[in-house]
Structure 1
């Protein structure tokens, strides 16, 4: 059904220009000119009740006066007039609409937000497929429906790419940039505020188009994240890479979050964790994204991490080593057999290393022999060739080698092959002719960007492969629904922190290990509990109004007798009263003093766009200072959890840093997977979870929640 809606938008039977005007530079006139220039075959009807004629053609007063039922509405009217236009158009039979007007909440103004709510209601009521609002039109090369109001477009073509962007201004520049690379977009959608159709809808449509090989997204915001991620997974399953430039750093509002984990990362990190697992490769710049398209449209991602590089410049080989290290890319270690083959091809003065410097433009036979040797090495997964394209005729050996590369790769080889320019140089007609003969191969613009982009592609491929390597863990406890539904009575208009015993009991039901502990109503009960647990013990205040105890002096460690426990209870009560006179002390939590281990942090944060994300890292009171954390999707599997551990300094401690004994790595993974399952099951009921510290003990001794906080999500605006 979604694809039918996007089909209606991008392949309309006719187009109605509502609010048409012949004022100079008015967008309606520019769109009409583009539709004519690029050969759109359907009817194009200007509609303006104040005009009988416009552009020397008939102008219609309303939808009923049109010579046929309207199909696609282009709304050029102001924001407050859009609602009536869409309702009237839908009644007349329109299937889709595009709204150019802004003023629907993109500036954060209350009046605009109210319009956005009203527009969503109109879209839902009418069933129209709506692009926008606040967008700048689309390009659909197969249907020739060019509704982008820019007269700088020079050509459109149904090529191997598609673009979905929240910036209409980028579309024209991107169209030119992709044309220069021979990567013309079949479709280019300016999505606007996504109040109707959203990125997931467009993405799913692009995946279904046979001629589209890769999709580029420029997103300022992800809406309907579940649908977006489902579409991303469909793209990955279809073998169509999704590349994304995502705007949005840290959210300053998280600094005031009740749980510490809420202040640790920005939305980019959450996007990478969740969308990355669904196969999305995020790039930092448009130029990098186009470079990634250049690679992925023409060859497959490498199946492993090893890259071999071949060039004819000693200086460039040194630079390549620097670029690769900076990008976190692995240069393959060549086998002795490979080195021997290279030495045989290049002669006794050869240095058969990686990067390989052939020292000059060698004869084609030697050049091809080196390619054979490198591609056959078991550690090589991608062969990069540093090749400058001659700007003038007459460099026969170089051109012969380029032709040999083309022949060597045309039927597909043992590993993917990509070319890169030693430095960024514009191609003249002669060089472009040589490039066209190698059109089945990527030609990357310069080595630093090439390695940066390849690093992102390879890490993205690995991340998605990990997510697909194991099934999502089985559902939580049998009474999961009952437990989660029971939280409804506790939720209110603001996020609500549960006290520590409640938080731990809830997480414990999903398999997070708890220490031996007892909730005591007063000091006498605390002494009895300590005796039953066995000394030494820890005593902590229990209060929903005190989510973090260290600052309030609300805990005491290493208590070894009844008198110490009673004294600690009195001191804690006094400290809490002094720290916050409104905090209600409901009792004391008496727990075993856990054996020595590493303090880790485990939690859930809820990103405004992407939803719940699992966090792992170094714990203790310095967690926010060091921010040694990694993020994963809800429902993460064991392979993903292990990769998160490896991405932090805490992972080195777990492995046994500087001769220290290794900690229980498997138990840490168990806890991470259990919390990931909880995140998946709890969904939007939870605002945050903070387990800090999670005590990791020696191998075989497991882990334990020393402290935990669950914050329930608000039921309405906070």
Structure 2
């Protein structure tokens, strides 16, 4: 694999909103730093950032500021930043909330461009805190100051011994970049991530946010993987563009908290973040190519896997084991995570058969125990592993080994054999699963040479190998393609003529639900065809409309106040003639008035009755972080019961739309199933693309519910639609 070509970072234009390079340098590698409000206490439990900075070995110039003046740890203390002899690259306000406004004013007057605010209690606190934050953000905008925080431990840069934390901690150096919204990921990274190279905590993200920072980490050759600990984002569109850019350079692993209702409330009180609907975040991550970690163990596992292996040739995996049962566990895990059991070549089968008893059936996965009884465990393990790695149809190997206690005299250590094989075949990852009483010790032994990774469970081993495959063969290529296809475009800059017609219609519509006739007109302006229909103010007009359309017809009540018409008797199907239509009108009015006495009634909508076809749901809901979210799935009156839907965040291309459709059960029927003919799939894709343009071009559209969109072999038509403006 040509990993050099895949890691070429010069061919992709950085997002325009990235933090300027000089500002990023001052934030992460300042030549001088001011510590405003630094405590005079020192020693254990003092929480003194100056003490931590010195313990880390920072070599830049330090300007402590405390109203009491004097000296701290041998450094002269200035009573005001205005008295300092220079303008620092970075100012850290490390004092309680009530002192922040004055210290920030000093930073502004001194001409500081980058400020970290450590204190809590702003948007994550009370109304006074919110007002304080608004005030210093206003001053920052006037003076051109960028702010990290509030509610942050700031920056940890292991490459140049720089740390703004007031809590001392051990931080092993590792090629991992971290963006986080919690101090636990700063001070606890050794256990959670295995160490870091560079860690930035945006805190409440009042100003500087993930999207402005991740591109710099993506282009840092010292980092091989990026971790994000996320509670929420402020601008989903910017985040997705920045994340796609980052994934095109290196793997991005995200651990998103607040997925449960209780967790979302806790996150809101922690950083003031709007965590948003977890399902939308999940879709956003998948579209960007982000690998979502379900647990902190996943983060650690994925980190060491990406640090150890520069790539993987494919998803065909060989397994060498001392247990047949372990092989079955592996195969089950492959199915869960998208890997395949490698088909062994004839040469590989023969090499293994020559070691094995005559009765042994050679197939992948390979249980070496029968052969080991004849030739000895180490030699059989060596030859079997070597045969698998030589096989061109095997992309990686999982090694299952025991790690038993000293009292178990039959335990034989094969870690040296595995290391030797890994050195001879560096292009093929070797992942270990070890079980037994000494598993921790044996994992450390397997990973000592840094050419193998090992785990305490087979599921974790397979999951990590799958992450490696999916990134290099699916996520990274897709991110590169989508960057050139979509981003940097603003669909609102050049509306098509139809879009201008829609804008005219929307601008003259009040907030709330559009009338159904206006909803149909709006959709048709984007080429999304509605059923033939006529609006009728009374019963006689409805009968006349039916004569023009031709029986049978569908009758619907027309009201801006009724969204689910079938729930109140507001829909009648298959009306065969004028007499039945008059009766249906009378019964409908009575039912609606009984169920919705306050609803405004504006007449009837009469439309042609269409038989056959599949009922599809196509909708949109505007998310507070990510904007419009497209919904596709099974339509009809049982939509909410079936819950057969898939989501995507536009803009969308045809591949993304087809992938969304394939996630639903109805997609299999749409392609033709038994006696059900296939419908117009390219037509559906075209409709969804037009629908995506509609909701992107018109931000006042808050919700759209097309249900159903009737799909037939040669026709797609909207039978019902509601659109909410706001």
Return the TM-score normalized by structure 2.
0.85
Specify the alignment match of 1:145 in structure 2.
162
C-alpha contact (below 8 Å) 2:36/2:65 kept by paired residues: yes
Instruction: Tell me, yes or no, if structure 1 residue 511 matches structure 2 residue 527.
Output: yes
Give the CA deviation at 1:488.
Answer: 5.7
Give the Cα–Cα distance (whole angstroms) in 1 for the partners of residues 438 and 608 of structure 2: 68
Q: Could you say which residue in structure 2 is the equivalent of 1:386?
A: 400
Correspondence for 1:261:
none
Pick closer, same or farther for the CA change 1:104–1:485 going to 2, 3 Å.
farther
- Local SS of the residue matching 1:581: coil
- Show CA shifts across 1:526-557 (max 9, x none): 22221222211111122221122121211111
Q: How far apart in 2 are the matches of 1:199 and 1:513?
A: 41
Residue 506 of structure 1: CA displacement?
A: 1.7
Answer whether contact 2:189 2:196 (CA < 8 A) is retained.
Answer: no
**1:89 pairs with 102, 107, 111, which one?**
107
Distance 1:537 1:690 in 2: 22
Q: Which residue of 1 aligns with 2:60?
A: 42
* 8 Å contact from structure 1 (residues 346, 358) kept in 2: no
2:647 pairs with one of 613, 631, 642: 631
Structure 2 CA distance for partners of 1:483 and 1:307, relative to 1, 3 Å: farther
Contact preservation (8 Å) 2:557, 2:565: yes
Partner of 1:58: 76
Determine whether 1:332 maps to 2:347: no
**How far apart, in 2, do the equivalents of 1:269 and 1:568 lie?**
42
| 2:232 paired with 1:217 | no
Q: 1:656 offset after TM fit, Å?
A: 3.9
The residue aligned with 2:145 is: 128
Q: Contact conserved, 1:18 with 1:77, CA < 8 A, in 2?
A: yes
Alpha carbons of 1:251 and 1:283: their partners in 2 closer, same or farther (altered >3 Å)? same
Distance in 1 of aligned mates of 2:517 and 2:437? 61
Alignment partner of 1:421: what SS? Answer: strand
How much has 1:193 moved relative to structure 2? 0.4
- Counterpart in 1 of 2:9? none
Is the CA contact (8 Å cut-off) linking 1:225 and 1:610 kept in structure 2?
yes
Give yes or no for the alignment of 1:533 onto 2:533: no
- Cα pair distance change 1:266/1:629, threshold 3 Å: farther
1:165-180 → structure 2 map (5 Å cutoff): 165-179=180-194
**In structure 2, distance between residues paired with 1:70 and 1:41:** 14
Q: Report what 1:258 is aligned to.
A: none
- Could you say if the C-alpha distance between residues 162 and 691 of structure 1 is closer, same or farther in structure 2, counting changes exceeding 3 Å? same
SS of alignment partner, residue 436 of structure 1: coil
Mind listing any 5+ residue stretches in structure 2 that lack a counterpart?
1-18, 265-274
User: SS of the counterpart of 1:114?
Assistant: helix
Relative to structure 1, the CA distance from residue 482 to residue 655 in structure 2 (aligned partners, 3 Å threshold; closer, same or farther) is: closer
What is the Cα deviation at residue 385 of structure 1?
2.9
Deviations 1:262-315 (A, max 9, x none): xxx972221122232122111111210221122222325656544333322223
User: 1:36 deviation in Å?
Assistant: 0.9
Q: Which residue of 1 aligns with 2:272?
A: none
- The whole-number CA distance in structure 2 between the counterparts of 1:551 and 1:74 is 59
2:719 counterpart (676, 695, 706): 706
- Residue in structure 2 matching 1:204, options 215, 232, 237: 215
The question of whether the paired residues in 2 share the 8 Å contact of 1:693 and 1:706 is answered with yes
Q: Is the 8 A contact 1:9 1:129 kept in 2?
A: no
Task: Provide closer, same or farther for how the CA distance between residues 680 and 364 of structure 1 changes in structure 2, counting only shifts above 3 A.
Answer: farther
* 2:364 is aligned with 1:354: yes
How many Å separate the matches in 2 of 1:558 and 1:218? 55
Q: Secondary structure at the match of 1:550?
A: helix
Aligned partners of 2:307 and 2:532: how far apart in 1? 57
Shift of 1:119: 3.5
Higher relative contact order (CA closer than 8 Å, sequence separation 6+): 1
Identify if the C-alpha distance between structure 1 residues 366 and 61 changes in structure 2 by more than 3 Å, giving closer, same or farther: closer
Aligned to 2:539: 523
Select the residue among 169, 176, 179 that pairs with 1:164: 179
Secondary structure at 2:448's aligned position in 1? helix
CA contact (8 A) 1:469 1:639 kept: no
Contact 1:277 1:464 in 2 (8 A): no
Cα distance between partner residues in 2 of 1:168 and 1:145: 16
Shift of 1:174: 1.6
| Structure 1 residue runs without a partner (length 5+) | 255-264
* Offset of residue 38 of structure 1: 1.5
The answer on whether the counterparts of 2:652 and 2:689 sit within 8 Å (CA) in structure 1 is yes
Pairing of 1:534-613 with structure 2 (within 5 A): 534-613=550-629
Measured in 2, the distance between the counterparts of 1:283 and 1:81 equals: 38
Give the conservation status (yes or no) of the 8 Å contact 1:334–1:354: yes
Instruction: Name the CA shift for 1:329/1:600 in 2 (closer, same or farther; >3 Å).
Output: same
Q: Relative to structure 1, is the Cα distance of residues 537 and 229 closer, same or farther in structure 2, using a 3 angstrom cutoff?
A: same
Secondary structure of 2:188 counterpart: helix
8 A Cα contact 1:123 1:196, kept in partner: no
Taking a change above 3 Å as real, the CA distance of residues 346 and 664 of structure 1, as seen in their structure-2 partners, is farther
* Structure-2 change in CA distance of 1:162 and 1:355 (3 Å): same
Q: CA deviation at 1:333?
A: 5.5
Question: How far apart are 1:329 and its partner, in Å?
Answer: 3.1
Is residue 41–residue 48 contact of structure 2 (8 Å, CA) maintained in 1? no
Distance 1:454 1:525 in 2: 67
Residue in 2 that maps onto 1:690: 705
Structure 2 residue aligned with 1:299, among 309, 312, 326? 309
TM-score, structure 1 normalization: 0.86
Residues 1:187 and 1:468: Cα distance change in structure 2 (over 3 Å): closer
- Is residue 2:630 matched to residue 1:614? yes
SS at match of 1:616: strand
Give RMSD over aligned pairs: 3.3
Distance in 1, Cα, partners of 2:630 & 2:282: 12
Whether the 8 Å CA contact 1:137–1:147 is kept in 2: the answer is yes
Contact 2:247 2:479 in 1 (8 A): no
Residue correspondences, number? 682
Distance 1:677 1:352 in 2: 55
Q: Which whole-Å deviations, capped at 9, do the CAs of 1:422-468 have from their partners, x for residues lacking one? A: 4796544x86455222x134334421123334455656663665576
CA distance 1:4–1:126, change in 2 (3 Å): same
1:117/1:322 Cα in 2 relative to 1: closer, same or farther (>3 Å)?
A: same
Instruction: Give CA-to-partner distance per residue, 1:226-253, whole Å, 9 cap, x none.
Output: 2222221211222x1111011233679x
Q: Secondary structure at the match of 1:196?
A: coil
CA distance in 2, matches of 1:452, 1:569: 60
Match among 407, 432, 436 for residue 448 of structure 2: 436
